[in-house]
Amino acid sequence: SELSRRCLPRRRIGLSLGFASWFSFRIFYLAGAVNLLFMVATRDLPVDSTWPLVVAPLVLVLLAVTAVLANRPGTAEHVAVVLGALRFWKPRPSRAERRAAGARFHADAMAVVGPPRRRYRLALLSLGSTLSDVACLWFILIAAGARVDPDVALLAVGAGAVAASVPLLPAGIGLVEAV
């Protein structure tokens, strides 16, 4: 690929692609939760609206908590220790080696995402990408003669993304196209 051609190490390529997905999904869940709260507050829904009032704030809290935990090296070290302990098919490295691997991963990850200012830029780019997807769907619906509000288009894009993330088929082949 292009990143390999530019002589980037495989680990950095993997981290770059992983964090692109990380930021994209987090922004998508943020937009979905805010949209859900907006729809419950501004519309008279035909169903019981207590579940969105529980789920949306829970998603927002989980996003905030995981953002704080992801910035701590201790979290990566602890996760590495736990995941390394689950590895039963190979000889298990010592606890200190697993902790060091977690610290290395966190240092590499922070080198990829950079300082907080860059993370805000990444989040804004992800938000722009998500809103562009929503705008595309909304304009397509308008062109097809369907009159829907933008928040309904956001909900539809969100449902499509959730459906596409469920691997019912090998590599999700055909699922996105069906939705």
Give pLDDT tens digits for 47-75: 777 787 888 899 999 999 998 888 888 99
Cβ atoms of 76 and 106 within 8 Å: the answer is yes
- Report phi then psi at 88, rounded to 5: -100, -15
* Mean pLDDT score of the chain: 82
Q: Which residue has the higher pLDDT, 173 or 22?
A: 22
Q: How far apart are CA 134 and CA 175, in angstroms?
A: 19
> pLDDT tens for residues 103-113?
998 998 888 88
pLDDT (mean) for 146-165: 80
Q: For the beta carbon of residue 119, count every other beta carbon within 10 angstroms.
A: 17
Helix, strand, coil percent values for the chain (each to nearest 5): 80, 0, 20
% of the chain residues with pLDDT over 70: 89
Pairwise pLDDT comparison (118 vs 176), residue with the higher score: 118
- Note whether 150 and 134 are within 8 A (CB): yes
pLDDT at position 174, please? 54
The CB density around residue 36, as the number of other CB atoms within 10 Å, is 22
pLDDT at 120 over 90: no
Q: How far apart are the first and last CA of the chain?
A: 29
pLDDT at 26: 86
What pLDDT shows up at residue 166? 65
Q: How confident is the model at residue 140 (pLDDT cuts 50, 70, 90)?
A: very high
pLDDT at position 172 is 52
39 has pLDDT over 90: no
pLDDT of residue 179: 46
The pTM assigned to this predicted structure is 0.72
Contact present, 70 and 85 (Cβ < 8 Å): no
Give the CA angle between residues 34, 164, 70 to the nearest 5°: 55
